[in-house]
Structure 1
Amino acid sequence: MPWKLTTEFTFDSAHTITGYDGPCGRLHGHTYRVRIELQSDRLRPSAHVKRNIMVADFKTLKWPKKDVDAGGLDHAYLNDLPALGDDTTAEVIAAFIHHETMRRVRFDLPEGDDGADLRLKVTVWETPDSACEYWE
């Protein structure tokens, strides 16, 4: 694929891993670091520009960085999010960000474009040296 769009950002959130026998079973927080990589073999328009000049809009990819009240994950108690519930491991968070990002990218596609060529990989660091990657 000729284009790979990459963006990185952080967000701060708290969670509890329900049923975890140890400190992670108690309320605690992280500064999560996220890398989103989106590949495509062609350029498209976005919600903000109607010409075929983007893989996707960086604004669309950075949705998790927004405050929880604005639909993102920043300053959220992750266990309160229905899509995550009690399963708030880095693996589940990475998969959630992947699926929601693809939903948002596909929403911006022009009519008749199913986005079949799009390939997305999400990496979530829960700590500076512990990360999870998710892709399909």
Structure 2
Amino acid sequence: MPTWTLHTEFKFDAAHFIEGYDGKCGNMHGHTYKVHVSAKSHKLNPSKYLDTDDMVCDFRELKWAAKSPKKGGLDHAVLNEELTVNPTAERIAEFIYKETMQRIPDGISLKITVWETETCWVEYTEDNV
């Protein structure tokens, strides 16, 4: 079975605090988050910008979080105001995953990796593999 896997990375800057955290992360602070998105599909699809079925999905749809909050993204946001859960790295990755899934064609499996620092990151997927 043919399989295509797209990979893209982007960064965004944002502030957050972890409510209830007993430590410095309980205070408002900021990070430059790095995000890696893997999108795997066994078929090609059209996109919002291309009518023919020649891509897994559009890279633009995978990089939505790099935009400002006014344009629907997370760059320079206060994450506590954008997420309905405590904005830990785990929850940020889950949020990006769920929002991205709404923007891409059905049948694509995603894996989202979010680096909060150069040495601390989390991966999120809903695949059972």
* TM-score, structure 2 as length reference: 0.94
Residue-by-residue CA offset, 1:63-96 (whole Å, 9 max, x unaligned): 0000111110000000111xx2351000000000
CA positional deviation for 1:118: 1.3
- State the partner residue of 1:131: 121
- State the partner residue of 1:109: none
- State the partner residue of 2:99: 100
- State the partner residue of 1:76: 77
Paired positions, count: 125
- State the partner residue of 1:67: 68
Which consecutive residues of structure 2, in runs of 5 or more, have no partner in the other structure?
Answer: none
Distance 1:94 1:13 in 2: 14
Q: What secondary structure does 2:101 align onto?
A: helix
Q: What secondary structure does 2:22 align onto?
A: coil
Runs of 4+ in structure 1 off by over 2 angstroms are none
Q: C-alpha root-mean-square deviation of aligned residues, in Å? A: 1.0
Given that 1:4 and 1:37 are in contact with CA atoms closer than 8 Å, whether structure 2 keeps it comes out as yes
Q: What secondary structure does 2:73 align onto?
A: coil
Given that 1:17 and 1:86 are in contact with CA atoms closer than 8 Å, whether structure 2 keeps it comes out as no
* TM-score, structure 1 as length reference: 0.89
- State the partner residue of 2:20: 19
Look up the equivalent residue of 1:85 and give its one-letter code. Answer: T
CA positional deviation for 1:23: 0.3
Distance 1:14 1:39 in 2: 31
Distance 2:10 2:85 in 1: 24
